[in-house]
């Protein structure tokens, strides 16, 4: 066991795009597990778009990370000390270990990694991103056979599963991603019906061509130009689960006018749209169904996943900055130890 705990703390709140200067790598003592607690060694750290929100002081569904405190984050960790009868030394668990080598926990929210699948799936397709896709698409999106489902960031861990579940439900899956390599992956590997490169194509035109029968479900995780292109193509009674707006996370002010909020409300009214924001924990009661269904599909090869592994905790800031620009290809994970 290393003598010190390396941790990456929030050094300053970014105004706009985060840079390496907003993070600081420091060393602290390895924390001590008290009665009932476990000491966790971080093996893999998950990087996810929501972390940009935690860097800001703005009110959101979760408290911001305090300046000088370690960045929060889901981890796959190894139990290296245990004063808790529920966990044995050597077990691999999913936890919220944060951006650091070691963390202590009282065991709440810590779950043993199920056997039979690679441990890192607990951070991706069988973890928070996968459950976000599963719950948002099936509970709010409710795709029916023959309908058209559109999702952006489609090569990422949420979008890729949204499209694949849409296909399993008999719907048409249209993915939007950055670059020809990701688009080929969507079609050739994941079985999407169409893929659009938002960097290369005329997005509104390409999306309209890819959705000849309009759009019935738009799984909203990016906002911005994709949202603008989707809106005129939505069919009456379309559903829009809203779980992220990555394109706006670095925004420092409202975009220039005109104010299109009233036009958006008018579209909601005349097309009788259903928009609903959610975060995955709102559907905590579906965790069992999610693990059962997606675990089954994964073992049967009916859904695939892809990971983008970065080596070394010290690379986490740069990797998160890249994630917000769409530089990752697959679930972004830092291999810590």
Residues near a second copy (CB under 8 A):
59-61, 220, 223-224, 227, 236-237, 242-245, 248, 251, 253-266, 268-279, 282
How many CA atoms lie less than 13 Å away from 90 in the CB half-sphere? 0
Residues with Cβ within 8 Å of 317's Cβ and at least 6 positions away in sequence, in order, are: 8, 18, 20, 22, 23
> Which residues on adjacent β-strands are paired with residue 217?
149, 239
Burial of 84 (0-12, 13-18, 19+ CB in 10 A): middle
Give me the least distance between CB of 306 and a second copy, in Å please. 26
From first CA to last CA, the distance across the chain in angstroms is 11
Nearer residue to a second copy within complex by CB, 20 or 61? 61
Closest CA to 277 of 144, 140, 129: 140
Cβ contacts of residue 272 below 8 Å, gap of 6+? 236, 237
Min separation Cβ 276 and a second copy, Å: 5
User: Is 64 or 179 the residue whose CB approaches a second copy more closely?
Assistant: 64
Of the pair 200, 232, the CB lying nearest a second copy is at 232
Residue 282 CA to residue 233 CA, distance in Å, equals 29
Q: How far is the CB of 148 from a second copy (least distance, A)?
A: 19
Residues with Cβ within 8 Å of residue 205, at least 6 apart in sequence: none
Token readout for 100 is 């650091």
- Residue placing its CB nearer to a second copy in the complex, 142 or 302: 142
Q: What is the 3-state secondary structure (H, E, C) of 54-94?
A: HCCCCCCCCCCCCCCCECCCCEEEEEEEECCCCCCCCCEEE
* Nearest distance in Å: CB 48, a second copy: 15
Nearer to a second copy, 207 or 243 (CB): 243
User: In angstroms, what is the minimal distance from the CB of 247 to a second copy?
Assistant: 9
Nearer to a second copy, 282 or 314 (CB): 282
Q: In the complex, what is the shortest distance from the CB of residue 256 to a second copy, in angstroms, rounded to a whole number? A: 5
Q: Specify the residue, 35 or 58, whose C-beta has the smaller distance to a second copy.
A: 58
**CB of residue 22 to a second copy, shortest distance in Å:** 21
């Amino acid at each position: 066991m290393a003598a010190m705990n390396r941790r990456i703390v929030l050094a300053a709140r970014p105004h706009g795009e985060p840079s390496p200067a907003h993070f600081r790598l420091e060393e602290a003592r390895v924390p001590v597990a008290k009665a009932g607690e476990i000491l966790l060694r971080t093996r893999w750290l998950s990087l996810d778009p929501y972390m940009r929100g935690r860097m800001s002081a703005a009110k959101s569904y979760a408290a911001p990370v305090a300046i000088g405190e370690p960045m929060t984050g889901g981890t796959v960790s190894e139990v290296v000390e245990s004063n808790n009868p529920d966990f044995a030394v050597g077990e691999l668990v999913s936890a919220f270990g944060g951006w650091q080598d070691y963390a202590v926990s009282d065991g709440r929210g810590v779950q043993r990694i199920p056997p039979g699948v690679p441990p890192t799936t607990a951070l991706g397709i069988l973890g928070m991103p996968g459950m976000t896709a599963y719950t948002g698409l099936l509970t709010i999106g409710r795709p029916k056979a023959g309908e058209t489902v559109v999702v952006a960031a489609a090569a990422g861990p949420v979008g890729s599963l949204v499209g694949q579940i849409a296909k399993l439900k008999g719907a048409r899956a249209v993915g939007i991603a950055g670059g020809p390599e990701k688009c080929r992956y969507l079609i050739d590997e994941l079985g999407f019906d169409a893929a659009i490169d938002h960097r290369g194509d005329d997005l509104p035109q390409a999306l309209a061509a890819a959705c000849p029968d309009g759009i019935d479900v738009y799984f909203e995780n990016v906002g911005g130009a994709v949202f603008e292109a989707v809106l005129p193509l939505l069919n009456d009674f379309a559903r829009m689960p809203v779980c992220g707006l990555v394109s706006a996370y670095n925004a420092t002010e409202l975009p220039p006018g005109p104010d299109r909020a009233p036009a958006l409300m008018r579209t909601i009214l005349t097309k009788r749209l259903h928009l609903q924001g959610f975060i995955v924990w709102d559907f905590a009661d579906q965790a069992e169904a999610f693990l059962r269904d997606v675990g089954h599909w994964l073992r049967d090869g009916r859904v695939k996943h892809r990971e983008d592994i970065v080596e070394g905790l010290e690379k986490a800031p740069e990797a998160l900055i890249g994630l917000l620009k769409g530089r990752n290809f697959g679930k972004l994970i830092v291999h810590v130890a």
